[in-house]
Structure 1
Amino acid sequence: MGGFSEVLCAKGPRSPVSVFGGCGRVRLARVWGQLLIDKPVCLGPRPSRSSRWTTMEGDCLSCMKYLMFVFNFLIFLGGTCLLGVGIWVMVDPTGFREIIAANPLLLTGVYILLAMGGLLFLLGFLGCCGAVRENKCLLLFFFLFILIIFLAELSAAILAFIFRENLTREFFTKELTKHYQGSNDTDVFSATWNSVMITFGCCGVNGPEDFKLASVFRLLSLDSEEVPEACCQREPQARDGVLLSREDCLLGQSQFINKQGCYSVILNAFETYVYLAGALAIGVLAIELFVMIFAMCLFRGIQ
């Protein structure tokens, strides 16, 4: 048996005792002879500063691990949402796919959205696995991977801001008057515009007057049509239904022509989704930044 490391007895009804380290016997007695305790004890060593620091560091790493898991799960959900939005835009039956197909820049943006969604989906899964298993190689690969994606998304946002003028009313008007060929379904550009105008019940970019400046359309129609057939009003609830009066419409009778331009209609339809996509992109970028910080801290803390 070892000696007593530290025994403190005080006079009074209750004698406090503190023992740190080693094994021995503790004797506690009230000085007036009312109580006597004599029993063996074995206590652990007094915790040192270094051990307390190690414990705190371990707690911090554990906290980072769980936070990283949560953030990666959010990235996983964000990637799933981006994939869902991209797929929905490509297959949506209400006309968004026609709008996207009408502009190569928008079509490229949708493909980028799908690619980013797929990468974030995979990235979130890998990050969750790396955080739970505390694998340094997986964490390093995850950090580099998410850094590349973060820079790519940031570059895409900057390019979208720089080329935002390509989505203006003037841009679409110029493209329509230059390339539109009327009811020629073999031309992708014209067929896309026809589908958009029929779907949304609109005519041209600004209105029927746009086709007075459409040189190719005027040439092919031999000036016998004021507006294309896609601008004509149809029976209610019928996307490809019967025209109210095809002859009067083509001759320019305003009561049989859709008067509203497609730009305003599409802008109103897209406005909610644009803000939603922007908020989602900002949220994903912020989460990715925090996840990179946590991943590097966890990587450095794992022994």
Structure 2
Amino acid sequence: MGAPPYEEKETCGTVCLKYLLFTFNFLFWMAGGVVMAVGIWTLVEKSDYISLLSSATYAASAYILVLAGAIVMVTGVLGCCATFKEQRKLLRVYFVLLLCIFLLEILAGILAYIYYQQLNEELKQNLRETMVKKYKQPDEDHITKAVDKLQHEFKCCGSNSSSDWADSVWVRTTEAVSRKVPDSCCKTPTIGCGHRDHPSNIYKVEGGCITKLENFILEHLKIIGAVGVGIACVQIVGMVFTCCLYRSLKAEPY
């Protein structure tokens, strides 16, 4: 007479776990879209600035988020199927995918943190050289576009200061038409405005574009790291629910 109440209790527990896991999977699927969106936004909207960096770590972190986000969305659907079909094999696959995504997002967070530490030194070593040697040079259109966008949007001129352009390969050519700085340095950009290197005409920002670009990338690294680690922590809850449901299904008689 004691068996039926026990079975009913186990069944109610399983039903609760199923709905908890289903709710988690729905939220997890939405989070996957957010993760993928952050990664795509970083790669598409900020791709010009990525071309100014010598290291691929920043881009790699974004690619990992895109990959993890795509897998998260697929995994969320698989999790719903595994939950309602009550198939232990599907639950095992789901758990393994959750674990893989967890590791990917932790990796993205770690890469973002490591690059956060070395970004200043990289910019100091490479940004000035990139700007003075590659601006307006053959087959370097992406660099030219990135430099012009950087100086115009961040209201800065040169890597450390506008005087950096005195060493530019482009400034020394006839193509520059005696410009002292690119027109993108001007407060009111017009064709040929770079002839006059004066504070009333061009941006004289302390720290130059290095400081502006560094602050910009650091903010985005914080977002990438926070999203990756935050979603990874949420996944721990999903893995716990999955283990509980798996054990509950295993314990039920057929």
For Structure 1 versus Structure 2, the TM-score category normalised by the shorter chain is: 0.7 to 0.9
The structural deviation recorded for 1:118 is 0.7
CA distance in 1, matches of 2:224, 2:73: 17
Of structures 1 and 2, the one with the larger relative CO (CA 8 A, separation 6+) is 2
Residue 289 of structure 1 and its aligned partner are, at CA, apart by 0.8
Judged with a 3 Å threshold, the aligned counterparts in structure 2 of structure 1 residues 76 and 273 are, in CA distance, closer, same or farther, namely same
Residue aligned with 1:233, SS:
coil
* Higher strand residue share: 1
TM-score, scaled relative to structure 1:
0.68
Deviation of residue 282 (structure 1)? 3.3
TM-score in terms of structure 2 length: 0.80
Q: Match of 2:195?
A: 247
CA distance in 1, matches of 2:57, 2:145: 18
Aligned equivalent of 1:293, options 215, 234, 240: 240
Aligned to 1:22: none
In structure 2, the residue matched to 1:157 is: 109
Unmatched 5+ stretches in structure 2: none
For 2:200, what is the secondary structure of its paired residue?
A: helix
Summarize deviations over 1:152-202 as a string: whole Å, max 9, x none.
22233223323323322x321321222322322622434422332233332
1:267 deviates by 5.4
5 Å-filtered alignment, 1:1-303, equals: 47-48=1-2, 50-92=3-45, 96-103=46-53, 104-168=56-120, 170-180=121-131, 181=133, 182-184=135-137, 186-187=139-140, 188-211=142-165, 217=168, 219-222=169-172, 226-235=180-189, 242-243=190-191, 245-248=193-196, 252-260=197-205, 261-266=208-213, 274-302=221-249, 303=252
Q: Is the 1:177–1:211 Cα contact (8 Å) retained in structure 2?
A: no
Contact kept? 1:127, 1:139, Cα under 8 Å: yes
Q: What RMSD in Å do the two structures reach over aligned CA positions?
A: 2.8
Q: Which has the higher Rg, Structure 1 or Structure 2? A: 1
User: How many residue pairs get matched?
Assistant: 239
Offset, 1:119:
0.9
Measured at CA, do residues 185 and 73 of structure 1 come closer, stay the same or move farther in structure 2, by a change above 3 Å? farther
Q: Call closer, same or farther: CA 1:246–1:279 in 2, change over 3 Å.
A: closer
Question: Aligned partners of 1:74, 1:205: CA distance in 2, in Å?
Answer: 44
- Name the % identity: 28
The equivalent residue for 1:39 is none
One-letter identity of the residue aligned with 1:198 = H
Unaligned runs of 5+ in 1: 1-46, 236-241
More displaced 10-residue stretch of structure 1: 194-203 or 225-234: 225-234
CA contact (8 A) 1:179 1:190 kept: no
In structure 2, the CA distance between the partners of 1:163 and 1:89, relative to structure 1 (3 Å rule), is closer
Amino acid at match of 1:81: V
Q: Distance in 2 between matches of 1:263 and 1:69?
A: 47
Q: Which moved more, 1:268-277 or 1:106-115?
A: 268-277
SS in 2 for 1:121: helix
Deviations 1:33-63 (A, max 9, x none): xxxxxxxxxxxxxx41x43333222222211
